[in-house]
């Protein structure tokens, strides 16, 4: 099927021709025949790299040509940026919406194609972004993630909400191979397109001793080294290819990369350059090891790395200088980094409660699918390593010829469901108790399970919980959210988290009991936030325990939570995480924190990021519910955001001053904006440079007037929050109380 004959917009066709694409791949043609361009819903289940993206693009460009608007939903922020790059500059205006990269919401709506993570879409729905109503085409990338334990329920609800809202939405689901594609397709009222056609041949096989078994085809390789993974990689690299090794732990990833590096011992100017770049970014042992490995042509990849480190590794691999990457599953589902040979070394992975368990077939496929770079490799090879000859057959059956798992709905997760119900009520999707099951009837869960008995019970519990928490109220048959509930929904924290936060603060305030308010302690508050289900906490190692216990007893007075015997693990995980953040706001160095907790710099970033988010939510919640703690909460938020001790707070308010410059000024006895003038321009300039000095001294001079006023937030900020969009179903809900009442407070 010729691309030019499909009546597609000029720009798309020409950009394809430029990349040498003039004819559709067979599965793509199949999609067109099934009505892709006539607005039919499709569920497309075809291998990676067989042109899913182009299918989506064709449909989206059609919509844009007809003045439609498209939403492309992805599971990862990194994937959002990747797609953004890919879609940009082909005609339609493209925008991206993720937590950390965001053009203003209303500006977003001016785009023709919007790329967003599923959580961001959910958040936009909760905040009633008006343009969501004009979406005509929804593309769900990696739709099988509806099965994901922690995030699947959100995705399912997002799809359901969007369909409910825009009745004639065209839905295109892109999915890896799954066991029950028909079930998913019928939920979406979609035609199914399946195929295992690939642009590059994929050989899947097992390696044993010195031989690769690809079904009938057998290939013996040289085995100079003791380890199978090294032999496989060296063989591939000597053949001019690149190799990707999947392992099951970070330590293994690093260890493997080290061995590969000393086996390869490459010495090339490009590698030297990358290594120097990494050396500059390295402040930790991990960073130095990475730089040393890259110098010789190997690298590792896992979530403990900083973003810039990952990017350098990815770039080095794409340009071909880095030959081998050993990786944890980060790279399996993440971005597109194909290699000629993929070695799945560890097909067992630690699973809580079960010990080592085999990875799901679907995950094996995702990893195997990375093999073979289109146009660059003659074929791709995915290799499992067998311990012995008997094991080899087992691996064939267990992974290569095994059918992919079915996907199931994860909507019966109580925690997620409670938050989702709150958001349904808060945004007006659901107005009465009867409408709730009606709405849920449209979900994949009910589609699959038919019966609503089980989920009905969860829903009942959830409604009761929300009512008791004062997040929703009942007026006759009407359900509506209180201002507290509305805020919780919009902050995108789970109701449980909100209750833990407000509960802890209220308890300290002594409101409930009439007792005298207790003092606020950052450490105690951080500890509480770490016990929240929205915060993910660090693992505990055996060697951590004595440090943790000592810390616990030394700081008992400041902590807000006791660690009980039956939830030791959780308790100490929360404590460890709180300790990390506490170190961070004591200005401990990256290096020190990493070695103290046995983590990578990326983990610090993630932890701080999560804490930042919860602190922001906390400051909003405290303004509304427990205003007497508003100031200390906000103060903690600022300290975590910048990673500074309390003494730097006055300086940090100046624009252009971050943690480093503030510290430098402070150590030179300039402790507050007022001190700047006393010190004089020349001294300030000597510390932070002329340009910054000029900038901040001007600000300091203007202090106390308009600037200072702006900083105190208006007391009723949470009420005056712009409610500029009309609620989903049109008219305002008459039953919503116009003024909030202190939920749960003394009546």
Partner DNA sequence: GTCTGCTCCCTGTAGACAGCATGTC
Partner DNA sequence: CTACAGGGAGCAGAC
C-alpha separations of 365 from 73, 393, 567 in Å: 22, 18, 37
Nearer to DNA, 195 or 612 (CB): 612
> Angle CA(360)–CA(172)–CA(202) in degrees, nearest 5?
45
Least distance CB 637 / DNA (angstroms): 7
Residue 41: which of 178, 130, 137, 143 has the closest Cα?
137
Least distance CB 29 / DNA (angstroms): 33
Which one of 5, 20, 67, 100 is in contact with DNA (CB under 7 A)?
Answer: 100
Task: Dig out the tokens for 243 from the structure.
Answer: 């190799």
Which one of 33, 38, 150, 468 is in contact with DNA (CB under 7 A)?
Answer: 150
Which span sits near DNA by CB under 7 A: 119-127, 188-196, 392-400, 519-527?
A: 119-127
By CB under 7 A, tell whether 547 contacts DNA: no
In the 8-state DSSP scheme, what is residue 648? G
Residues that constitute the known binding site for ATP: 28
Which one of 67, 450, 542, 731 is in contact with DNA (CB under 7 A)?
Answer: 542
Which residues, numbered 623-662, are part of the site for DNA (CB under 7 A)? 655-662
Nearer to DNA, 435 or 591 (CB): 591
By CB under 7 A, tell whether 356 contacts DNA: yes
By CB under 7 A, tell whether 302 contacts DNA: yes
Q: What is the Cα gyration radius of the chain?
A: 28
Those residues whose C-beta lies under 8 Å from the C-beta of residue 293, and which sit 6 or more positions away, are 257, 258, 260, 261, 299, 300
- Looking at the DSSP bridge assignments, the partners of residue 173 are 43, 140
Which one of 350, 515, 686, 713 is in contact with DNA (CB under 7 A)?
Answer: 350
> Angle CA(364)–CA(309)–CA(379) in degrees, nearest 5?
40
By CB under 7 A, tell whether 255 contacts DNA: yes
In the 8-state DSSP scheme, what is residue 353? T
Which span sits near DNA by CB under 7 A: 76-84, 277-285, 450-458, 625-633?
A: 76-84
By CB under 7 A, tell whether 250 contacts DNA: yes
Which residues, numbered 660-679, are part of the site for DNA (CB under 7 A)? 660-662
Least distance CB 285 / DNA (angstroms): 11
Q: Which run of H or E residues covers position 583?
A: helix 568-584
By CB under 7 A, tell whether 394 contacts DNA: no
Which one of 398, 414, 609, 707 is in contact with DNA (CB under 7 A)?
Answer: 609
Which span sits near DNA by CB under 7 A: 21-29, 87-95, 118-126, 282-290?
A: 118-126
Nearer to DNA, 46 or 261 (CB): 261
Which one of 254, 483, 499, 590 is in contact with DNA (CB under 7 A)?
Answer: 254
Those residues whose C-beta lies under 8 Å from the C-beta of residue 556, and which sit 6 or more positions away, are none
Which one of 437, 503, 598, 744 is in contact with DNA (CB under 7 A)?
Answer: 598
Which one of 95, 173, 334, 369 is in contact with DNA (CB under 7 A)?
Answer: 334
Helix axes 10-18, 52-65, angle to 10 degrees: 150
| DSSP assignment of 254-286 | HHHHHHHHHHH----HHHHHHHHHHHHH--SHH
Find the DSSP H helices in 386-517.
Answer: 389-395, 414-426, 435-440, 444-449, 453-468, 483-491, 495-509
How many whole angstroms separate alpha carbon 246 and alpha carbon 399?
A: 15
Which residues, numbered 151-170, are part of the site for DNA (CB under 7 A)? 151
By CB under 7 A, tell whether 314 contacts DNA: no
In the 8-state DSSP scheme, what is residue 163? H
Which residues, numbered 219-238, are part of the site for DNA (CB under 7 A)? 226
For strand 478-481 and strand 355-358, is the pairing parallel, antiparallel, or unpaired?
Answer: unpaired
By CB under 7 A, tell whether 610 contacts DNA: yes
Least distance CB 442 / DNA (angstroms): 23
Nearer to DNA, 9 or 658 (CB): 658
By CB under 7 A, tell whether 288 contacts DNA: no
């Amino acid at each position: 099927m010729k691309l030019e004959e499909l009546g597609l917009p000029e720009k798309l066709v020409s950009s394809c021709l430029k990349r040498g694409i003039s004819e559709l791949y067979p599965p793509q043609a199949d999609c067109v025949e099934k009505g892709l361009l006539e607005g039919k819903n499709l569920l497309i289940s075809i291998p990676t790299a067989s042109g899913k993206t182009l299918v989506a693009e064709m449909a989206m460009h059609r919509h844009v040509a007809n003045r439609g608007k498209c939403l492309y939903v992805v599971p990862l922020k990194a994937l959002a940026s990747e797609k953004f790059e890919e879609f940009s500059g082909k005609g339609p205006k493209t925008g991206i919406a993720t937590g950390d990269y965001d053009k203003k919401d209303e500006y977003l709506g001016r785009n023709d194609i919007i790329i967003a993570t599923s959580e961001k879409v959910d958040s936009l729905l909760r905040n009633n972004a008006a343009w969501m109503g004009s979406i005509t085409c929804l593309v769900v990338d990696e739709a099988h993630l509806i099965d994901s334990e922690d995030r699947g329920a959100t995705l399912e609800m997002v799809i359901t909400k969007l369909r409910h809202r825009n009745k004639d939405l065209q839905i295109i689901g892109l999915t890896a191979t799954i066991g029950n594609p028909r079930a998913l397709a019928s939920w979406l009222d979609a035609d199914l397109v399946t195929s295992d056609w690939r642009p590059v041949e994929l050989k899947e096989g097992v390696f044993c001793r010195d031989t690769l078994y690809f079904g009938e085809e057998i290939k013996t390789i040289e085995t100079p080294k003791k380890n199978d993974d090294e032999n496989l990689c060296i063989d591939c690299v000597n053949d001019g290819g690149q190799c990707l090794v999947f392992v099951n732990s970070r330590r293994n990833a690093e260890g493997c990369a080290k061995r590969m590096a000393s086996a390869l011992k490459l010495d090339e100017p490009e590698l030297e350059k990358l290594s120097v770049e990494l050396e500059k970014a390295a402040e930790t042992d991990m960073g130095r090891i990475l730089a040393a490995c890259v110098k010789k042509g190997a690298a590792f990849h896992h979530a403990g790395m900083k973003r810039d480190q990952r990017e350098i590794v990815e770039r080095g691999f794409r340009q071909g200088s880095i030959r081998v990457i050993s990786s944890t599953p980060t790279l399996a589902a993440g971005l597109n980094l194909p290699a000629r040979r993929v070695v799945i070394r560890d097909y067992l992975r630690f699973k809580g409660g079960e010990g080592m368990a085999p990875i799901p077939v679907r995950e094996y496929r995702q990893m195997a699918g990375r093999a073979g770079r289109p146009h660059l490799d003659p074929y791709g090879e995915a290799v499992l390593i067998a311990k012995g000859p008997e094991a080899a057959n087992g691996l064939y059956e267990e992974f290569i010829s095994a059918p992919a798992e079915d996907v199931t709905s994860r909507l019966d997760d109580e925690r997620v469901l409670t938050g989702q119900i709150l958001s349904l009520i808060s945004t007006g999707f659901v107005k009465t108790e009867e409408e709730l099951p009606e709405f849920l009837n449209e979900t994949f869960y009910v589609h699959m399970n038919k019966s609503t008995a089980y989920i009905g019970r969860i829903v009942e519990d959830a409604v009761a919980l929300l009512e008791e928490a004062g997040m929703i109220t009942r007026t006759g048959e009407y359900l509506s959210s209180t201002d507290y509930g509305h805020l919780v929904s919009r902050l995108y924290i789970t109701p449980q988290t909100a209750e833990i936060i407000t509960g802890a603060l209220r308890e300290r305030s002594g409101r409930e009991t009439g007792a005298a308010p207790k003092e606020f302690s950052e450490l105690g508050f951080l500890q509480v936030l770490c016990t929240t289900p929205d915060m993910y906490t660090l693992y505990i190692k055996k060697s951590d325990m004595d440090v943790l216990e000592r810390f616990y007893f030394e700081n008992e007075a400041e902590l807000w939570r006791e660690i009980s015997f039956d939830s030791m693990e959780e308790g100490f995980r929360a404590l460890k995480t709180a300790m990390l953040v506490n170190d961070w706001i004591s200005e401990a160095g990256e290096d020190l924190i990493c070695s103290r907790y046995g983590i990578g710099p990326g983990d610090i970033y993630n932890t701080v990021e999560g804490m930042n988010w919860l602190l922001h939510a906390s400051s909003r919640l405290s303004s509304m519910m427990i205003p007497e703690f508003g100031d200390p909460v906000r103060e903690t938020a600022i300290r975590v955001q910048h990673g500074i001790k309390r003494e730097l707070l006055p300086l940090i308010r100046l624009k252009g001053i971050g943690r480093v410059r503030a510290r430098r000024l402070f150590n030179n006895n300039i402790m507050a904006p007022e001190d700047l003038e006393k010190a004089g321009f020349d001294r300030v300039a000597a510390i932070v440079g002329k340009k910054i000095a000029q900038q901040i001294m001007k600000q300091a001079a203007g202090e106390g007037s308009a600037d200072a006023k702006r900083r105190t937030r208006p007391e009723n900020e949470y009420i005056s929050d712009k409610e500029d969009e009309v609620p989903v179903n049109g008219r305002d809900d008459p039953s919503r109380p116009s003024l909030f009442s202190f939920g749960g407070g003394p009546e």
